[in-house]
Chains A and B, each alone.
Chain A
Amino acid sequence: MPFTNEDFTVIDSIINRYPRKRSAIMPLLHFAQARDGYVTNESIETIAEKLDLETAEVIAVVSFYTQYKREPVGEYHVGVCINTLCAVMGGDAIYEGLKEHLGIENNCATKDGKVSLERIECNAACDYAPVVMANWEFYDNQTVQSAKDLVDAIRSGNPPAPTRGPDKLPTWRENSAVLAGISDGRAGEGVSAGEPSLLGLKLSKEGK
C-alpha cells in the first residue's frame, strides 16, 4: 500500500520532534506498524529514505527489537512473560496452556487473525507476576484459566479492560500509533503504580 500524503504529514511531524532526524527511527517503525500491522519492505525503504539511512541500518533496528514484526500479528497480540519470576509463578504453565488452547505456536496468529501469541521477556511487572500482556497492556496476576478466558473474550469481541492502563483494550494498530507518539487521549486512564509496586517504598518510609 503506497504511502499517502497524510502518511507523510505524520512522518514529517514525527521527524520534526528530534534535533537529528535519525532519532525518529523507532517511532516511525511503530507508525509503520500502525499503518500496516507490521513492518513491510515498503516501510523500510520509505523510512530509510526519509531519515537518510541505508535500508540495512533500518533492518538492524527492526530485527533487534522484538516489538517490531516483519510478519502480520493478530489484532490482539498476546505476550506471556516467561522470565524467571513469572515463570515460576505460573508463566510457563500459562504459555503452554494458551498454546494448546489456541492451537498455535510461538509468534503465530489464530486463523481468524484475532490473536497471536509470543513468549516475552521480563516486562518489569514482576510485582504482579505472572503477567500477560495484550498489545502491551498489562493483565496482572494471571492463572492458566484467567488467561484462557482472556483470549476467549478477545476472540468473541469483548476483551476486558486491562488491569492497569486504558479503560478499553486498544487494538494492535491503535497501540502502535500510541507508541509512535500519536496520542489517543487515554494516557490518564487506569492505575499506573499499584499497591504492590509502592509497597517497598512504603516499607522503607516506615523505616522497616
Chain B
Amino acid sequence: MSTQEVSADVTLELITLTIDGFEVTVPKGTLVIRAAEKLGIQIPRFCDHPLLDPVGACRQCLVDIEINGRKFPKPQASCTIPVETGMVVNTQLTSNVAEKAQKGIMEFLLVNHPLDCPVCDKGGECPLQNQAMSNGNGESRFDGYKRTFEKPIKISAQVLLDRERCILCARCTRFSEEIAGDPFITLNDRGALQQVGIYEEKPFDSYFSGNTIQICPVGALTGASYRFRARPFDLVSTPSACEHCASGCDMRTDVRRGKTLRRLAGDDSQVNEEWNCDKGRWAFKYATANNRIKTPMIRGADGELHEASWPEALATAAAGLSVNRAAVLVGGRATVEDAYGYSKFARVALNTNDIDFRSRVHTDEERDFLTSAIVGVQVNYSAIDRADHLVLIGFEPEDESPIVFLRAYKQVRKRGLKVTTIAPFTTRGSKKLNAQVIKSAAGNESQLISKISGLTSKSVILVGERLCESYGALSAALKLAQTSGAKLAWIPRRAGERGAIEAGAIGTLLPGGRPVSDVAARVDIQSAWGVKSIPENIGRTTSEILVGLQSGDIDSLLVGGVDPLDISADALVGLEKAFVVSLEMRHSSITEIANVILPIAAVVEKSGSFLDWEGRARAFETAVDVPDLRSDVRILSMIAEKMGKPINLPTVAAAANEFASLGNWDGARAPFIAASGTAISGDTILASWRLLLDAGSLQDGEVNLANTAHPSVAVISTDRAEKLGVKSGDPVRVSNSRGEITLPCEIKDIESNSVWVPRNSHTSKTIATLGIASGASVSVVKA
C-alpha cells in the first residue's frame, strides 16, 4: 500500500553560496550547517538538531563566513545562520580560524566533563567522544579540579541525569518544550553551576521523556532500565515497528546475546519523524515475562493442561475445529500477515465468515462504518500538516495515539492550527493543542457533531475507536465529512486493527476490502484461493459470537490474543462451554479454559507488518530468533493442513505476498445505513478512556515505566464537588450495582452530569469492576 504524497505546491526561492570552495544551491532559509551537509561536509555540532529550533547553545559549529567580500569579525555558529546569496563559508576543512575555534570550544566543553567514557552508557555512540576525536585537541591544557555534582539524580522514575556530563546543549529542554509541550525540565542556575533540572515536587513524567535520552549528545541523560546493561558495539540492531498503538512508529530493537535490551525511535519523516512515546520505547519486557508459554499444551481428560508435542497439539486442534461449528476471534494486535491467516483460515478451513478482530467494546454501526467508509481509504499525517481545522471526536491523542498528538502539536505551535475537540472535559492535551472544547457527556457526541461548522476539504476529522460506544456518533461524523468535504480518519488504539480490516478479519469483509455481500468480490477471492465457495452470509460480530457460544449455536472457537475483559465482564462465560483453541503468548484467563494452547512468537521474535491508522505499512524483521516460536499464520497453516483444508501460508512472507497479490477492491462498497443517536440523560454518566500508561498487559514487567504513569483520578465538576463536600485530592467512590472504584478526585470543567475515570489503570478498571466502558449511569459519593 503506497502512501507517497507529493508535498504541497510551494515554490522555493533558491540561494547559491560557496562552502569550502564548492558551490551549493539550497532553498532560502536553509541553515549554513545544513547546506554544508548537502555537500557532504560535516561541521561538528551538539545542540543543533534538525527538528528543534536553532539555539546556538554549544558553539561547536563555528565557521568563518564572508558575505560579498565582507568578513564576519569572528567565527559564526553555522547552526543559527541562514544562507545568503554570495556567502562564502570556510569550515574547519579550509579555515585555520574555524578549526582553531572549534578545537578551543571542544577544549572548553571538556574542562568540566568527567572521564566517564569507560563506564558511560553513551560510550561508543557518543557525539562528544566522537567529535572530540575528530575535531578536538588530543590533550587538554586544563589541570585544575573539575566541577563535580552528585551523580546521577533521578528526574523521573525512568530518566536519570548526570549533571557532570551535561554540556548544556539544551536539546532535552527544547525537545520537552517544543515537541512534547511538556517543559518539565529546564536549564536552571547560571555560570559554571548551570544545570538541567526539574521542579523538585514534579518529576519529568512526560509521555515522551525517553526521546531526550536518545537525543542527548552525551551520556548525561540515561534510562534507568538500560543503564549499565550494554556497550553499543555489543548490540545487534534490527529495524522494527511498534506494536503498542496505531501511530505506526518506526523503531529499532537492540539485542545482546538473544536478549532485547532497548528499543529506540526510528527515523521516518512521514510518520514519527525521529520520536516515539515512552510506552513504545520501554514496554518490551512482557515478552520475557515468566508466564510466557513455551510449549503447546492440551487439556487432558483430567481437566488439567499438559505439555504436548507440536504434532499432537496441532492434531487435537484440527480435530476439535473440524467436527464443530467454529468461529474466530482475533485480537487487535495481530500483524497484517497473521490477520490475513485468520481471515483465510475462517473461510477456507472453517467455512464461515464468523470472524471479528474487535476484542473490545464494539457495535454494528461501527462495523458498517468501517466496511463502508474506512477500509481502503488513506488519510495521512501530512493531512494534519496541511489542515485548516482539525476536529477530534472521542479521541484523546496524547493517550490514544501519541504521534498524532505530536504532529498536531507541531502544527499548533508552528502555525496556530485550529483544533476543535468533542470531549467530556478540557484535558491537558487539549490545553496544549489550544483546542476549542465542545463538552459532551459520553454518549451525547452525535448530538454535538452537527454543531461543528466551517469545515472545508482541507479540514481533517479524526474519530477515536471508542466513539462507537456513542450510538449514532460515527454516522454523524461520516455525514459531517461528506457534507463538508473534510477528510475523515478512524484511529484505533491497537496496532493490528487497521490491518485486520484490510485483511478481512471481520464478518462483512474479505481481504482487500471486498464486501462479503458482493458476489463478484467472493468470486475474486474464490478463484485466488482456489476454493469452490466462500460463505455468503455476513459473519457474526464478536458479541454475536459470544451469544452463539452461550446458546450452543457455535461450539468451538479459535482465538488469538484476546483478553475477554476488554470485551465485557461476562465474555468468558460462553467460552467455557466451547472447544477453545488458543494461540497465545502468555497464560491468561483464556488459556485457563482453553482445550489446546499453541504458543506464538512476540513481535520482536517474528517478522511481519502492521498498518498504522493511516493505512500505511509498517514492516519489521525478526530481532530475537527463538527457534520454536512462530508467527500465528504459520501455525494456522499447519492446523489447516491437518484438517485437510490447506490455506498454504507456510511463512510470513508467503502470506504477505499472497495478500499483496489480491490487490484492493475497486467495486462498490457496502452501503452505509446511518444510525441516529438520541440524547442520553442521567445524573451521573460515566466517561472513560485508557491512559497511555496503565494496566495494559503489554506494559507488564517494566516498573520504572509504570512509575511515570499519570495518576489515576476521578474527574468531577465544581458543582458536584460542592455537593459532595470534597476538594481536589479527596477520595470519591464511583459505583453501580456491580462494583465500585475509589479514586482521588480532581475538579475540572467536566459537565455536572458526568464523571470520568481511567478505563484500565491499576486502581480503576471500569469493565472488570463496573461492567461498563462509558455512557452508562453510575453514582458518585464521597469515600
**A residues near B, CB below 8 A?**
41, 44-45, 53-60, 63-64
Contacts and interface: CB of A to CB of B under 8 A. Distances in A.
B184 A60 contact: no
A56 B185 contact: yes
B202 A55 contact: yes
Given A56-B184, A56-B198, 12 more contacts: A53-B183, A54-B182, A54-B184, A54-B199, A55-B202, A56-B186, A56-B197, A57-B183, A58-B199, A59-B198, A63-B189, A64-B190
29 contacts: A41-B200, A41-B201, A44-B199, A45-B201, A53-B183, A54-B182, A54-B184, A54-B202, A55-B199, A55-B201, A56-B184, A56-B185, A56-B186, A56-B197, A56-B198, A56-B199, A57-B183, A57-B186, A59-B186, A59-B188, A59-B197, A59-B198, A59-B199, A60-B186, A60-B187, A63-B190, A63-B197, A64-B188, A64-B189
Given A55-B199, A56-B199, A63 B183 contact: no
Contacts of A56: 183-186, 197-199, 202
Q: What are the 5 closest A-B residue pairs judged by CB atoms, nearest first? A: A60-B186, A55-B199, A63-B188, A56-B186, A56-B199
A59 B195 CA distance: 12
Contacts of B201: 41, 45, 55
Contacts of A45: 201
From A41, A57, A59, name the one whose CB has the most chain B CB atoms within 10 angstroms: A59
Contacts of B182: 54
Nearest to A58: B199
A65 to B, nearest CB: 8
B387 to A, nearest CB: 25
Interface in B161-184: 182-184
A57 B184 CA distance: 7
Contact of A54 (B183, B187, B188, B197): B183
A128 to B, nearest CB: 26
A58 B188 CA distance: 10
Counting chain A CB atoms within 10 Å of each CB, the highest count among B182, B185, B199, B202 belongs to B199
Nearest to B199: A55
A13 B67 CA distance: 49
Point out which of B186, B189, B198, B201 has the most chain A C-beta atoms below 10 A from its C-beta: B186
Nearest to A45: B201
Nearest to A59: B199
Which bracket fits the contact residues of B?
A: 10 to 19
A55 to B, nearest CB: 4
A44 B187 CA distance: 16
Interface in B519-558: none
Contact of A60 (B188, B200, B202): B188
Nearest to A44: B199
Contacts of A58: 199
B179 to A, nearest CB: 15
Contacts of B184: 54, 56
A53 B201 CA distance: 15
A207 to B, nearest CB: 32
A59 B198 CA distance: 8
A53 B183 CA distance: 9
Interface string B307-344: 00000000000000000000000000000000000000
A60 B168 CA distance: 14
Nearest to B431: A52
B184 to A, nearest CB: 5
B604 to A, nearest CB: 35
A45 B202 CA distance: 10
A105 B191 CA distance: 21
Contacts of B199: 44, 54-56, 58-59
B728 to A, nearest CB: 12
Nearest to A53: B183
Contacts of B183: 53-54, 56-57
Nearest to B204: A56
A53 B198 CA distance: 13
Nearest to A65: B190
Nearest to A64: B190
Contacts of B188: 59-60, 63-64
Contacts of A55: 199, 201-202
Contacts of B185: 56
B208 to A, nearest CB: 14
A6 to B, nearest CB: 22
Interface string B193-215: 00001111110000000000000
A106 to B, nearest CB: 14
Nearest to A52: B431
Interface string B636-657: 0000000000000000000000
A35 B189 CA distance: 23
A63 B201 CA distance: 15
A54 B173 CA distance: 13
Nearest to B198: A56
A45 B199 CA distance: 10
B433 to A, nearest CB: 14
B252 to A, nearest CB: 30
A53 B200 CA distance: 15
A169 to B, nearest CB: 28
Contacts of B186: 56-57, 59-60
A60 B200 CA distance: 12
A168 B188 CA distance: 35
A56 B182 CA distance: 10
Contacts of B197: 56, 59, 63
Interface in B196-245: 197-202
Nearest to A41: B201
A45 B201 CA distance: 10
B339 to A, nearest CB: 42
A197 B573 CA distance: 91
A59 B185 CA distance: 10
Contacts of A41: 200-201
A80 to B, nearest CB: 19
Contacts of A60: 186-188
B522 to A, nearest CB: 58
A45 B200 CA distance: 11
A144 B514 CA distance: 94
B320 to A, nearest CB: 58
Contacts of A53: 183
A55 B198 CA distance: 8
Interface in B468-510: none
A151 B183 CA distance: 43
B171 to A, nearest CB: 16
A58 B182 CA distance: 14
A57 B199 CA distance: 8
A150 B201 CA distance: 40
A59 B184 CA distance: 10
Contacts of B187: 60
A196 B201 CA distance: 49
Nearest to B187: A60
A94 B198 CA distance: 37
A56 B199 CA distance: 5
A58 B184 CA distance: 10
A108 B182 CA distance: 35
A54 B187 CA distance: 13
Contacts of B189: 63-64
Nearest to B184: A56
Among A41, A54, A57, which residue has the most Cβ atoms of chain B within 10 A? A54
A28 to B, nearest CB: 16
B674 to A, nearest CB: 41
A41 B199 CA distance: 9
A131 to B, nearest CB: 22
Contacts of A64: 188-190
A148 to B, nearest CB: 30
Interface in B119-172: none
Nearest to B201: A41
Contacts of A59: 186, 188, 197-199
A59 B183 CA distance: 11
A55 B184 CA distance: 7
Nearest to B185: A56
B274 to A, nearest CB: 23
